[in-house]
Amino acid sequence: MTVPMTAAELYRHGLRLPLEKDVPGWVDLWDADGVLEFPFAPQGHMTSYRDYGNPLGVQQPGADFVGAN
């Protein structure tokens, strides 16, 4: 069952999950169209990552990323 939250509660909840090492809980917050952005990535490194079914796949070799030179 989904528990209704205000935007502020959801934001705090999303920050708390990694601190509690609840990675599956954090992944459950991921949207199907989500994109991880790395706005300050060094030149030659990925600037965004898109794998809608696996947001943690960014750690895997051959990840679907955008912006690397």
Read off the pLDDT of residues 9-66 as tens digits, 9 standing for 90 and up: 999 998 999 899 988 888 788 777 777 788 888 888 777 766 655 555 555 555 554 4
For residue 68, what pLDDT is reported?
43
Question: In this structure, which long-range contacts are made by residues 30-33, counting pairs with CB atoms below 8 Å and at least 24 apart in sequence?
Answer: 30/55
For residue 67, what pLDDT is reported?
47
CA–CA distance, 20 with 7 (Å, rounded to integer): 20
Contacts (Cβ under 8 Å, ≥6 apart) of 69: 43, 44
For residue 15, what pLDDT is reported?
92
- Does this model's pTM top 0.85? no
DSSP class of residue 4 equals P
